[in-house]
Amino acid sequence: MNIKLYSAWYCPFAQRTWIALEMLGLDYTYIEIDPYDKTEHWMEISRGKGQVPVVEFSDGKANRVRVPDSIRSLEFLNDLAAGQFWNNAPTLRADQRYWLDHINGWIVPQFYRFLKAPVGSAQSQESRTALSEGLASLETATVGRGSAIDAKHPGMLDVALFPFAYRMNLLLPYYKSFRPLAHASSLGDWFGEMCRSEDVRATSAQVEYYDDQLLQFYEPYAAGGGQEDVTTIAN
């Protein structure tokens, strides 16, 4: 069994897949890629998308596949490892998917909108409120349910949210005076516990001065630059 992860160290989407590989206990080779360098080789590997993460898999026999997209790769790796990222009850699994779409279609774009908005602007105010409300609704609607985020039994939602929660907590207080998550709250407790997980730590340990590097990497975004497409809100 041969798994390759094409990733960029700073990318929260790629970190999702990386965390999943660790949590599921799969052997893999990490390959650092500059996704913006659209070489022929990279476009072929990423199936024309030019985005990290991509998971490449072969069992040496007939089974081969290249999986671009972070959620699709999470689903694939979970299937491959017969993992527990989904709840077994159909209604709770549907709930997990609903909140997964909420993370991807609301929380993630509002995070980027807030990060890019000039301090004091109307967009800053709106996206700060939208982000806070998006996090609060995830927290309250799923609390005590088998579909909730749960650092003790991490699943699809925990892995999908964490890399963005980490960047929120690092970048937004520094650049935008956002109150960090790590206060007494179930989301704050979840965040602290996820940060202490060995599987999560393995995905940041290879980069020296990780937080400093991230702060530096995202500086152009915090000044309003960077890509626009990550700020698009789903229906």
Q: 90: Cβ–Cβ under 8 A, 6 or more apart, which residues?
A: none
Strand, helix or coil for residue 204: coil
**Which segment (68-76, 110-118, 183-191, 217-225) binds a second copy by CB under 8 A?**
68-76
Q: 39: Cβ–Cβ under 8 A, 6 or more apart, which residues?
A: none
User: Cβ closer to a second copy: 46 or 197?
Assistant: 46
Q: What CA–CA distance (Å, rounded) separates 159 from 23?
A: 9
34 binds a second copy (CB under 8 A): no
Torsions phi, psi of 196, nearest 5?
-80, -10
Residues in region 211-230 near a second copy by CB under 8 A: 229
**Which segment (21-29, 66-74, 109-117, 179-187) binds a second copy by CB under 8 A?**
66-74
Residues in region 96-125 near a second copy by CB under 8 A: 97-98, 101
Instruction: Rule CB under 8 A: choose which of 64, 179, 183, 196 binds a second copy.
Output: 64
Comparing CA positions, the residue from 226, 184, 188, 176 lying closest to residue 12 is: 226
Q: 137: Cβ–Cβ under 8 A, 6 or more apart, which residues?
A: 102
The nearest distance, CB 101 to a second copy, in angstroms, is 7
User: Cβ closer to a second copy: 205 or 233?
Assistant: 233
Q: What CA–CA distance (Å, rounded) separates 138 from 167?
A: 18
Q: 187: Cβ–Cβ under 8 A, 6 or more apart, which residues?
A: 135, 138, 139, 149, 181
User: Cβ closer to a second copy: 141 or 207?
Assistant: 141
Q: What CA–CA distance (Å, rounded) separates 17 from 173?
A: 26
User: Cβ closer to a second copy: 90 or 120?
Assistant: 90
63 binds a second copy (CB under 8 A): yes
38 binds a second copy (CB under 8 A): no
- Give me the 69-98 binding string for a second copy, x by CB under 8 A, dash otherwise: x--x--xx--xx--------xxx-xxx-xx
User: Cβ closer to a second copy: 67 or 165?
Assistant: 67
Give the pair of three-digit tokens for residue 167.
């960047």
Q: Which residues bind a second copy (CB under 8 A)?
A: 47, 49, 51, 57, 59, 63-65, 67-69, 72, 75-76, 79-80, 89-91, 93-95, 97-98, 101, 229, 235
